[in-house]
Amino acid sequence: MTGFDYAARMERARRELVVREVDVLLISLGSDLPYLTGYTAMPLERLTMAVVPRDGEPVLVIPELEAPRVTPRPDVFRVHAWGETEDPVAIVAGLMGRATQAMIGDHTWSVFLLGLQQVLPATRFLSARPVTEALRIIKEPAEIGLLRTAGASADRVAALLADHPFAGKTELQVSREIGAMLEANGTDVAGFAIVASGPNGASPHHEAGDRIIREGDAIVVDFGGKVGGYSSDTTRMYHVGDPPLRYREVHEIVRVAQQEAVAAVQPGVTAESVDRAARSVIEAAGYGEYFIHRTGHGIGLDGHEDPYIVSGSSRELEAGMAFSIEPGIYLPGEFGVRIEDIVVCGDGGVERMNNSPRDVVVVA
């Protein structure tokens, strides 16, 4: 999390507060905090919270024992470390002054919001999303560079998996192997690896488990990790032995749907129209009811963030937005197929962060 201009980001945040007539922005768990300060809070019971007043100095309130983790950035914030027997909610409330309107980061634990509401009954609390989204949705060139590096790392793993033995192993075992492969191929932190074999593939968010992979299985492999804080996320399909015709047909429908949606990405088109581009291919093939999720999600410091590529979203895409395109068909009791790339919308066209082959890969 070095190399970014946190002071400029903080200044942009404060300009958003002025426009929205908000007195103070409160940022705790999640990616908004590292975006603004370079520091990531530990997801534990001790409160870490940046208090960003519209006017005045931003303060990072942090448990004393975690203060040594913070890289000092005196031009961006000062640090207020609280001791084990102090009440951090009271400290934050004290720093908020007589705020009429406060915005609070979406991932902040409710227990802290309830505590603040009790201490400051006259303050109106709002979701910080309009501000944090405005800041984060258009990626800076350095952020796109990290997404590209993360994508290339995942692509190397996707290629290695073509020669990787699957049969006879449990999903969990393969999932752990993919984690190690990510870390050996340039990813800082292996984030996740869904390995959903055979009928388990029909559950889009299947958790890799004890099922032993065997001949004839289609395997949904959806994985990613972080490089410099930025996530990769790609899905490829592997098949133990030659796939039957029915599998090949469904795979081809998903591949074309994914290609059509990627081709639809350009500045000025709506998110829902990109979703429609994928969905109409799948519907025309008669599988509409088996495509049970949206087409994609934004990506950056969070694995899922704005913009969401979903029916009903009239948001217009802009250059610099990064998101997944990942249609799927899920046939209960049989198998699932999903193909996913991260793409970046550019002025001159769309750039894919993932470029490994999208055909079914036959494995042993």
Exactly one of 202, 221, 322, 342 binds a second copy (CB under 8 A); that residue is 202
Residue 177: CB minimum distance to a second copy, A: 11
Between 64 and 215, CB nearer to a second copy: 64
Exactly one of 21, 75, 84, 347 binds a second copy (CB under 8 A); that residue is 84
**148 binding a second copy? (CB under 8 A):** no
User: CB–CB of 145/187 below 8 Å?
Assistant: no
Nearest partner of 235 among 276, 194, 178, judged by Cα:
194
- Give CA angle at 130 (263, 150), nearest 5°: 45
Exactly one of 69, 78, 142, 349 binds a second copy (CB under 8 A); that residue is 69
**4 binding a second copy? (CB under 8 A):** no
**44 binding a second copy? (CB under 8 A):** yes
Distance, CA of 275 to CA of 326 (rounded, Å): 10
Query: Which amino acid belongs to residue 13?
Result: A
Query: Which amino acid belongs to residue 308?
Result: Y
Residue 304: CB minimum distance to a second copy, A: 5
Between 98 and 205, CB nearer to a second copy: 205
**Is the Cα torsion angle 336, 341, 345, 351 positive or negative in sign?**
negative
With H, G, I as helix, E, B as strand and everything else as coil, classify residue 223. Answer: strand
**355 binding a second copy? (CB under 8 A):** no
With H, G, I as helix, E, B as strand and everything else as coil, classify residue 18. Answer: helix
Interface with a second copy in residues 250-309 (CB under 8 A): 292-294, 297, 303-305
Which two three-digit tokens encode residue 258?
């994914």
Between 310 and 319, CB nearer to a second copy: 310
Binding string to a second copy for residues 216 to 255, with x set by CB under 8 A, is what?
A: ----------------------------------------
Distances (CA, A) of 210 to 25, 162, 174: 45, 22, 11
**181 binding a second copy? (CB under 8 A):** no
User: CB–CB of 222/340 below 8 Å?
Assistant: yes
Exactly one of 9, 139, 164, 206 binds a second copy (CB under 8 A); that residue is 206
Indicate the DSSP class of residue 30: S
Exactly one of 12, 73, 156, 176 binds a second copy (CB under 8 A); that residue is 176
**72 binding a second copy? (CB under 8 A):** no
Distance, CA of 16 to CA of 10 (rounded, Å): 10
**125 binding a second copy? (CB under 8 A):** yes
Which two three-digit tokens encode residue 360?
């079914």
**Is the Cα torsion angle 247, 342, 276, 290 positive or negative in sign?**
positive
**114 binding a second copy? (CB under 8 A):** yes
Q: Applying CB under 8 A, which residues contact a second copy?
A: 42, 44-45, 64-66, 68-69, 83-85, 104-115, 125-127, 129, 176, 180, 183, 202-207, 292-294, 297, 303-305, 310-312, 332
